[in-house]
A and B are shown apart, each in its own frame.
Chain A
Amino acid sequence: MRTYLTRRVLQLIPLLFVISVILFALMYSIGDPLAIVMNVPRRPSGAQIEQASRRLGFDQPIYVQYIYWLVGNDWTFIDFDGDGDTDEEMHGTRRGILRGDLGTSLITRQAVATRIGERLGNTMLLMLPAYALILLISFTLGVISALRQYSLLDGILTTAAFVFYSMPIFLVALGMILLFAVAFRNWGLPHLPIAGMGRPGEERTLSTLLPYMIMPVLSIALVSSAAYMRYVRASVLEVINHDYVRTARSKGIGERRVLFVHVLRNAALPLITIIGLDVPFLLGGAIVTESIFAWPGMGMLFIESLERSDYPVLMAMLMFVALFVIVSQLITDLLYSLLDPRIRLS
């Protein structure tokens, strides 16, 4: 087990390296960040732009920039005024991602780690309840649908799942706004706020946040539950016809116990893999949801940074997401072997 874990962790290193090279090559060419950085009321002179470019290392070839990003540039000198002589040179200040320095945002001059940190919590505020809801909805409806296979209820649930599975998330979100915010207000009913996280200046507590969270959480949950419900149904249907379920029944075990102990436990196994692997990919859905509901999370940060070519932020975010994906793959594998004694990791 320990050797397996060590080997898996060691395998992450080359993978992360490949990812970072691909991403850096993309970032390098997404546009001139200086064109935006320098876009201040008093237009800077050409010399100032050149100086800034040298300070940020943009004058260096791409592989040098990559090395600076990776291990920092405090071991080298920056030729600040570009005349090639040594007396005005200064030390680099970056320490590189390998030494825990994610860089500095080109726009806000904040440390990237701070910038991501203040948004990550907001995204988790949407993701965690959404995930709990997804598990609840998909398991309940999937099991009901499987137990009543080919009934009217099963037909309705299966069709609804197919529709929501094909649904662009903004359609659910906009529809919900139309109903819960606009129509409810017109009918004089209690209605939900459309966007943001609360009134400005108001102190944020869970109870003030809750109305703002309902619609984004529901849109994410409804669209994602549909896909999982189909899996749950298929998985339960497969298990339910196995001999050991019949044996359990013939031993006189109650229907409820058969369902929860014999059927669900086995049906849930493949689902753990699917759902576990999908966790980070929900972040993709969060981009659209957050931008509809103006929710200041990771998705919004990504869009803002992309629009302004703030590549240190983008780079750090994408690496973070990639790491998140890889780690959840690892956890999923470990969890799977824990729950299914037939699988031994070696």
Chain B
Amino acid sequence: MERGTVNGTISLDDANRKHESLLQLVFARFRRHRMAMIGVAVMTLITLYVIGGSFFITERSSNSTDFQNKWGAPSAEHPFGTDALGRDVLARTIYGGQVTLLISLLAMVVTAIVGTTLGLISGFYGGWIDSIVMRVSEALLTIPLLFLLLVITKFIGSQVPAVKVFGREFSGSVIVVIFVLGFTGWMGLARIVRAQVLSLREQEFVTAARALGARNLHIIFRHIMPNALAPVIVYTTLGISNVILLEAYIGFLGMGVQPPTASWGNMIQRATEKIDSAWWMWLYPGGLILLTVISINYIGDGLRDALDPYSKK
């Protein structure tokens, strides 16, 4: 990104700082947001926990059942207790966390790509393409997301076979959940990007680029997209926490990631069966979900303040 191009978000005060790139400016503003920095720290710890943990505890122990030891309370051997099939909750929070974080990151990548592309195209070309994209997004926005997600997950359902990545086997439902969450979140983003493009495409630099003979695609991706990027970054960051919550809900309802692959959402699924005793079944994964979502929401807040200082919250 070149200096001075992002939506006029650079104030005189900022512009007077010498020799600072836009990125440095944004970073400096972000660092002033205390809660966002705490969010970054917590997210780093959680990432270390789910990735570092796998060096100490094998995946096998997260999936190995022990029927002698069902619903076991936290003990020296199982610090977080065991679940309905006697699996170690500690190990499952580690491997489930990997799956949950992976799903939410990849789903947001899909959403970002689909939403930005549709928004760019629909805003830039207008006409019937715009009408179709907007009508479909309106129609999809009319159905509460959780209903839509559950129907589509069921629809693709168990048709995807298990996949092996780096010698680890993931239930095919992981891929289903990634794509379903990814393809149902684009509507809001497409509308935001479209609104940006509608104003950007009328500006002088676009006319100038066109006068110099730039093709449409070049204008869209080299001139318009970089200028519409700030809200995309904020939206996708906050979107990750939303996706984590949705994954947790469909996992909890038993329609998400299928066992034996753990995710923070599906770990809680059977917690209601022994609600009066087995609090460890839901407290640990639930607590991790809560911590992650709070951290990401604060990071998103900080990014919004840093990227778009004039926006109203």
* A interface residues, Cβ below 8 angstroms from B: 14-15, 18-19, 22-23, 26-27, 29-31, 162-163, 165-171, 174, 177-178, 181-182, 194, 234, 280-281, 283-285, 287-288, 291-292, 302-303, 306, 309, 314, 317-318, 321-322, 325-326
A174 surroundings in chain B (CB, below 8 A): 268, 271-272, 275, 279, 282, 286
A287 with B147: CB separation less than 8 A: yes
Q: A284-B147, A318-B143 are in contact. Are A171 and B276 (CB under 8 A)?
A: no
Q: Are A280 and B290 in contact (CB under 8 A)?
A: no
A325 touches B152 (CB 8 A): no
Q: How far is the CB of B300 from chain A (nearest CB, A)?
A: 11
Give the chain A neighbours of B139 by CB distance below 8 A. Answer: 15, 18-19, 22
Given contacts A168-B286, A170-B286, contact A280 B144 (CB under 8 A): yes
Contact B275 A170, beta carbon cutoff 8 Å: no
B3-55 with Cβ < 8 A to chain A: none
Q: Which residues of B contact A163 (CB under 8 A)?
A: 290, 294
Please, which residue of chain A has its CB at the minimum distance from the CB of B287? A171
Within the assembled complex, what's the spacing in Å between the Cα atoms of A37 and B210?
A: 62
Q: How far is the CA of A322 from the CA of B143 in the complex (A)?
A: 5
Are B279 and A178 closer than 8 Å at their CB atoms? yes
Judged by a CB distance under 8 angstroms, whether B136 is at the interface is yes
Cβ-defined contact, A19 with B293, below 8 A: no
Residues of B within 8 A of A171 (CB): 282, 286-287, 289-290
| B92 to A: closest C-beta gap in Å | 17
Q: How far is the CA of A170 from the CA of B312 in the complex (A)?
A: 31
Contact residues on B (Cβ < 8 Å of other chain), bracket:
35 or more
B145 within 8 A of partner (CB): yes
Task: State whether the Cβ of B1 lies closer than 8 Å to any Cβ in chain A.
Answer: no
For the complex, is B107 an interface residue (Cβ under 8 Å from A)?
Answer: no
Contact A162 to B147, CB < 8 A, known contacts A174-B271, A325-B142? no
B279 touches A288 (CB 8 A): no
Q: Which of B135, B253, B294: most chain A CB closer than 10 A?
A: B253
Is B241 located at the chain interface by the 8 A CB criterion? yes
Task: Flag whether B155 is at the interface (Cβ < 8 A).
Answer: yes
Cβ–Cβ contact A283 & B293, under 8 A: no
Of B59-67, B121-129, B244-252, which stretch is located at the interface? B244-252
Minimal beta-carbon separation of A321 from chain B (angstroms)? 6
Question: Which residues on the B side are within 8 Å of A325 (C-beta)?
Answer: 142-144
Q: Is B169 an interface residue (CB 8 A)?
A: no
A231 and chain B: residue at smallest CB distance: B313
A283 vs B143: C-alpha distance in the bound complex, in angstroms? Answer: 10
Question: Chain B residues in contact with chain A, CB under 8 A?
Answer: 135-136, 138-140, 142-147, 150-152, 154-155, 157, 241, 245, 248-249, 252-253, 255, 268, 271-272, 275-277, 279, 282, 286-287, 289-290, 293-294, 297-298, 312-313
Q: How many angstroms between the C-alpha atoms of A57 and B150 in the bound complex?
A: 25
- Bound together, the chains give a CA A46 to CA B298 distance in angstroms of 59
Chain A residue at smallest Cβ distance from B155: A30
Q: CB distance B313 to A288 under 8 Å?
A: no
Minimum CB–CB distance for B254 against chain A, Å: 9
Which of B268, B282, B293 neighbours the largest number of chain A CB atoms within 10 Å of its CB? B282
What are the residues of chain B within 8 A of A30 when measuring CB–CB? 151, 154-155, 157
* A168 and B272 form a contact (CB under 8 A): no
Which chain B residue shows the least CB distance to A168? B248
The answer to whether A170 touches B282, judged by C-beta atoms less than 8 angstroms apart, is yes
Cβ of A330 to closest chain B Cβ, rounded Å: 12
Q: In the bound complex, do residue A15 and residue B138 qualify as a contact, i.e. CB atoms below 8 Å apart?
A: yes
Taking the nearest CB of chain A, how far is it from the CB of B58, in angstroms?
Answer: 28
* Residues A318 and B147 in contact in the complex (CB < 8 Å), given A22-B139, A166-B241, A171-B282: yes
- A144 to B200 CA separation, bound complex (whole angstroms): 41
User: In the complex, are the beta carbons of A166 and B293 less than 8 A apart?
Assistant: yes
Can you list the 10 inter-chain pairs with the closest CB atoms, starting with the nearest? Answer: A284-B144, A284-B146, A166-B293, A171-B286, A166-B294, A18-B139, A19-B139, A182-B276, A30-B155, A322-B142
A19 touches which of B142, B154, B272 (Cβ 8 Å):
B142
- Asked whether B150 lies within 8 Å of A306 as measured between CB atoms, the reply is yes
